[in-house]
Structure 1
Amino acid sequence: MEKRVCFDFEVDFSNGGGIQGQGFRLDIPGDDITDDELADYIVRDMRLLMVGEVRILNKSIIEEAHKRPANTGSEPTST
């Protein structure tokens, strides 16, 4: 079975403001992913600019089929 990570996140922008997400799910290629890797993928996948701090909260790994077509690389994908 494929693995996904389910988590909440908060992003602060260096020029003020921020965004947050709850129950966000991300396809992962292995059995685990670090908070730093998740933060990097959120920023890249959402094409965020001027990011200050990213906090990952309530992270859990779940068994669930991936939602995006397979990538040629090893980057996780979000849905």
Structure 2
Amino acid sequence: MTKREKLFLKAQWHPENISFQELEVLLQHHGFRRVKTNSGSHLKWRQLEKDIVYMAPRRNPMKSIKEPPGNIVSL
């Protein structure tokens, strides 16, 4: 299992324990170019059942990661 797969599982099962840096790596791996956290655009995310849903600032649509890295992921 790769580091990214372990990170994905950690985000899925223990989202309260994931750091912002780990979340940023995971998001970049799944298609987000850059994650900004200035005062005007905070990234919000939550876990829905087995999916992880990331709600980015207004300009970016909501994206859902349904399978661990290595598989085909619909974003």
Which of the pair is proportionally richer in strand? Answer: 1
Q: What TM-score range do you get, normalising by the shorter chain?
A: 0.3 to 0.5
Largest Rg, 1 or 2: 1
Please report the TM-score for the alignment, with normalisation by the length of structure 2. 0.33
Please report the TM-score for the alignment, with normalisation by the length of structure 1. 0.32
Which of the pair is proportionally richer in helix? Answer: 2
Of structures 1 and 2, the one scoring higher in RCO (CA 8 A, sep 6+) is: 1
